[in-house]
Copies of this chain bind each other. A is one copy, B any other.
């Protein structure tokens, strides 16, 4: 184990892949590995979220190029929506950052959003820590903003970038206002569309009206396919890093939220889901059926 850990800490890509497999499969020794990870603050964890079709993967692709130009290393976890509802059909046109798959300074991994037990998979939290140990400068966690992942991701990432496209309609504006709550940075992609300027202006007014604690959510115009606005987005990421730097309160809350999710996973892992279902099936049509009495015995 200590050999694997040493190689992981030295940035060895095969050791990284093996460590991630160990954690994903809960193979013997995986908890020991996680408990041996040193505290390392170097990796910036950036959540990239937004509705399908906003161009998140294309934007991540462009950000990877910008980071490589700086001589830095970057990892990506692409989170696929999964159980209990299958949004797979939405992913048809997802671009898989194919440009960078063979670059030694880039590590890309797909993961399912949910574990068997529901909720954002705790495996994503654990794999993120493995990647941090390997010393990457950036870790992007990309989620499709349908359902809950766009909210939950905000509990993991240092900085959450919400990617939207310019659109008309008051209702869309209202939905965007909801996303404003989780966005540290707004990227308005496909900003060469008609009426993009008006859209950006409205978002900026909204961001200004909601500025808090020294941070006004910047609204960055990008055209990811043509690499436009990507440096401005990198600068916004840098500015947000400086803003949250030394914010011990925020850091402790994020860590507590993460610990909470991991504890929940471990506590519920002992509950035999199949036995629970079998018991409910056997009893549910009886006259004396009461779910709360079953729940008490599993609690």
Contacts and interface: CB of A to CB of B under 8 A. Distances in A.
B181 A258 contact: no
A70 interface: no
Interface string A146-167: 1110111011000000000101
A252 B266 contact: no
A279 B197 CA distance: 48
A295 B277 contact: no
Given A169-B167, A178-B52, A271-B263, A277 B299 contact: no
Interface string A248-292: 100111011011101110111001010011001100111111111
Contacts of A151: 84-85, 147-148
Contacts of A266: 295-296, 299
Contact of A259 (B54, B146, B252, B295): B295
A4 interface: no
A174 B263 contact: no
Contact of A252 (B38, B85, B252, B281): B281
Interface stretch (A86-94, A99-107, A134-142, A220-228): A86-94
A177 interface: yes
Interface string A30-52: 01001111110000000000011
- Contact residues of A: prevailing secondary structure: helix
Contact of A280 (B38, B177, B255): B255
B252 A284 contact: yes
A280 B295 CA distance: 31
A39 B89 contact: no
A191 interface: no
Nearest to A271: B263
Contacts of A69: none
Contacts of A264: 264, 267-268
Contact of A174 (B31, B90, B285, B298): B90
B146 A178 contact: yes
A251 B283 CA distance: 12
- Nearest 6 pairs between A and B by C-beta? A148-B148, A266-B299, A53-B171, A34-B292, A146-B178, A39-B289
Contact of A85 (B38, B86, B154, B293): B154
Contacts of A291: 129, 255, 258-259, 262
A59 interface: no
A134 to B, nearest CB: 16
A280 B296 contact: no
A293 B35 contact: yes
Given A31-B292, A52-B171, A280-B252, A267 B299 contact: yes
